[in-house]
Structure 1
Amino acid sequence: MLHYITGKVLETNKKKIIKNDFFGVEAVYLGEKTSGDFLLYPHFDQNHSTYFYYAFDNFEQKDFFTLSMKLPGVGAKTAYLISMQNQENLKNAIENYDLKFFQNIPGIGTKTARRIIVELKSSIESKDLSKLDIDEKLYNDIIKTLKPYGFDTEKVKVLLSECDIKLEKSKINEIIKWLLDNYN
């Protein structure tokens, strides 16, 4: 399967082909580039017994596509439309539970928008935890330590992402002290 191509986008009969000097690939592409590097995702459509390629400008779009494909009630076309949204607007819509943002995407109604937000929010938070280089048990220990004293869980998450101390169990006292010093 092909997953990457450098070439030019040609449009013929409402179909887009990404072509280089050697071959071309018909792909669903909603980006604005006319040439350059493209990431491809081959998707087998069981209804038509054929592969469709979806083209992306960057890994972030492709990652959102694969994440969206796992959501119940979201097919490849809808997942692609979600992933091709402005990434910053998409993240803000998830963070702020913006149903209207998702309802403006063709094929998404109120129930599906709610499901998408809940599923993506939990998936993104899980990824953020791994980016913090912290295991879930340590994270939960920090939250459990601070919560009885009235600390907001969401604010603690944000602060942990900004903490310059390596987040490891041996430094939990130092991390909590840093959180107390930086919690406004």
Structure 2
Amino acid sequence: MISYLKGKLVIKEPTHVIIDVNGVGYHVNISLSTFSSIKDQENTLIHTYLHIKDDGHTLFGFSHESEKKMFLNLLSISGVGPSTALMIQSSLSAEELKQAIASEDVKTIQGVKGVGAKTAQRIILELKDKIRKEGLYTEADKISSSSHNTLRSEALSALTTLGINKSAAEKSIDGILKNSGNTITLEELIKLTLKNA
């Protein structure tokens, strides 16, 4: 098991990074909160989880051990795979997710693309006691605002990678940018678009 990777960030995208560790490049899938934490770093330590299936091995990375712990908690739930767990962590902030589980807010969790009512109920049922007993998260840092064009293209790239229809994503992004002015971050833009998709 690969517990963490420490090295140079060669590529930083909202959905993945490539980390050079002594000349070997590791492709690591990440959530938006991890992206926002590491965006301005050149070297980093990423906590990882290696998911093994018949058709391949996939690395998932997290800037905080607590985020990895929540990811593993989500994976323990029937019907939640790595992609869904990452989508949940990209759509809801650490505090939103923790609050939704602790307050048994099915609607908020169900608002994540690909999560149905039954899965949302299972997440709450199986994780609420763990959430109440332990603080699973520290609030992630907000990312700095970028120009609209860069913001728009990065958001569009992330959303299409997550499986959102490109034209629907463009329409939603443009509407959100128009209403928000220059105050929105990439993470917030993607989250709002995911909620509206």
- TM-score by length of structure 1 reads 0.59
CA distance in 2 between counterparts of 1:5 and 1:21 reads: 11
2:119 aligned residue: 112
- What corresponds to 2:82 in structure 1? 76
Residue identity in the other structure for 2:115: I
**Runs of 5+ in structure 1 lacking a partner?**
129-184
Other structure's SS at 2:125 match: helix
Q: Which residue is equivalent to 2:9?
A: 8
How far off is 1:9 after superposition?
A: 4.8
Give ranges in structure 2 of 5+ residues lacking alignment: 135-197
Counting only pairs closer than 5 Å after superposition, residues 104-143 of structure 1 correspond to structure 2 as: 104-125=111-132, 127-128=133-134
Q: Relative to structure 1, is the Cα distance of residues 116 and 9 closer, same or farther in structure 2, using a 3 angstrom cutoff?
A: farther
Aligned-partner SS, 1:102:
helix
Q: Cα distance, 1:21 vs. partner?
A: 4.8
Higher relative contact order (CA 8 A, sep 6+): 2
Shift of the alpha carbon at 1:112? 1.0
Are 2:48 and 1:40 equivalent residues in the alignment?
A: yes
CA–CA separation in structure 2 for the residues paired with 1:9 and 1:29: 14
Matched, 1:54 2:54: no
SS at match of 1:111: helix
Q: Contact (CA 8 Å) 2:50, 2:58: kept in 1 or not? A: yes
Q: Distance in 1 between matches of 2:118 and 2:67?
A: 24
Residues 27 and 67 of structure 1, relative CA distance in 2, 3 Å threshold = same
In the other structure, the counterpart of 1:139 is: none
How far, CA to CA, are the matches of 2:130 and 2:20 in structure 1?
Answer: 35
TM-score by length of 2: 0.56
Larger radius of gyration: 1
- Using the alignment, how far apart are the partners of 1:108 and 1:52 within structure 2? 21
**SS of the residue aligned with 1:97?**
coil
Query: What is the letter of the counterpart of residue 2 of structure 2?
Result: L
SS in 1 for 2:61: strand
Matched residue count: 124
